[in-house]
Amino acid sequence: MFTRKRSLWLFLLPGLAGLMFFYVLPFIGGIWYSLTDGSYKNSFVGMRNYLNIWNNTMFRLGLKNTMELSAICAPLIWLLAFLTASLLMRIRPQGVFFRSGILLPYLMPSSAMLLIWLVIFDYGGVINRLVVLLGFEKVKWLEGSALRTPIILLFVWKNLGFATVIFLSALQEVPEPLYEYARLEGAGFLKQTFGITLPLIIPSAFLVMILEWINAFKIFKEVYFIGGAYPDESVYTLQNYMNNMFSKLNYQNVTTAAYSFAVIVFALFGILYFTQRRLLKRLG
């Protein structure tokens, strides 16, 4: 550790200045916008924008959808990633091919995958062939409330690998003799998972959940690719709302919506973080 070195500023200052200029100051400055009326005189209106926006149906629709989509995506990725990582651990040190294959989509531009997605999920596409093969009716995946499925799957497709990698590095830290002992005692996969694995990787498990939830809160690209700027109301996210208000130059609504959302985000992650702390204390 270096203490009282002047060169600290050399390392810290460029980054800190940039963060201030492009993130912190806009964040603080934006609060002012959410409290004024955006007219020529730009007079102070207190909480009126917030009252308006919370009564706005499109805002509430966007918020609801963002919440619902993230509440589906994050736990889904968490679970799939945990299972995949556990499977990968069983065939370690082999399985390099599987490991790299699963991480591959994280690096792929989802914009370039749009076309194949539209083909696969077309009314006459491969997914519907499978659906019919299994004896169900064809589904209109690309319109109405079913639109969520291709969007969620594109999101999961892209983000599964990274979550799996974080789980893998955590699982490798769990001492192998614990499992050997558990196996001698006759514990199966589920018992091992809940008795040994999960309690030992709580920090990583929370981290994956938090990172994926952050990502899922930001879900917009996938919606924009598949549904456009004004998608069906089942997938109209808060980001759609903010972007549309932005293109209408209604900056007050954008910032007010943004801060309402930021407060919710901070509150949620605060709760997650403290749950983790308490859980760790109780176990350790």
Partner 1 sequence: MAWKIIRRSKKRHLITRTLLALVLIPVLIPLAVTFLYSFFSPAEIKAFLDSRGSYAGTAFMEVLLFPKTASISQYYTILIKDMSVLRMFANSAFYTVAILAGQAVVIPAMAYALSRFRFRGREAVFFLILMLMLLPFQVTMVPNVLTLRSVGLLNTVWAVIMPMWFVPFYIFLVRQFMIGLPDELFEAGQIDGCGPVRCYMHIAVPVCRPVIGAAVALSFADNWNLVEQPMTYLGQRIDLQPLSVMFNQLVKTPTGIEFAGAALYILPALFIYLYFQEDILSGVQLTELK
Least distance in Å: CB of 270 to partner 1?
A: 10
Per the document, the length of the chain is 284
Closer by beta carbon to partner 1, 148 or else 237 = 237
Site string for partner 1, 242-271 (x = CB under 8 A): xx--xx---x--xx-xxx-xx--xx--x--
Residues 193-232 that bind partner 1 (CB under 8 A): 203-204, 206-207, 210-211, 214, 217-218, 220-221, 224-225, 228
Cα–Cα dist 37/30, whole Å: 13
Tokens representing residue 116 in the block:
């194949």
Closer by beta carbon to partner 1, 78 or else 261 = 261
Residues 32-51 that bind partner 1 (CB under 8 A): 33
Contact between 14 and partner 1 by CB under 8 A: the answer reads: yes
Closer by beta carbon to partner 1, 35 or else 238 = 238
Closer by beta carbon to partner 1, 165 or else 235 = 165
Nearest Cα neighbor of 225 from 135, 281, 151 is 151
Least distance in Å: CB of 46 to partner 1?
A: 19
Contact between 144 and partner 1 by CB under 8 A: the answer reads: no
Closer by beta carbon to partner 1, 181 or else 246 = 246
Contact between 175 and partner 1 by CB under 8 A: the answer reads: no
Residues 67-126 that bind partner 1 (CB under 8 A): 80, 84, 87-88, 90-91, 95, 98-120, 122-126
Biggest distance spanned by C-alpha atoms of the chain? 77
DSSP string, 176-191: HHHHHHHHHTT--HHH
Sequence-distant (≥ 6) Cβ neighbours of residue 2 within 8 angstroms: 8
Strand, helix or coil for residue 35: coil
**Residue 44 dihedral angles phi and psi, to the nearest 5°:** -75, 130
Least distance in Å: CB of 120 to partner 1?
A: 7
Nearest Cα neighbor of 131 from 149, 104, 107 is 149
Residue 143 one-letter amino acid: E
Closer by beta carbon to partner 1, 16 or else 47 = 16
Asked whether the beta carbons of 163 and 208 are under 8 A apart, the reply is yes
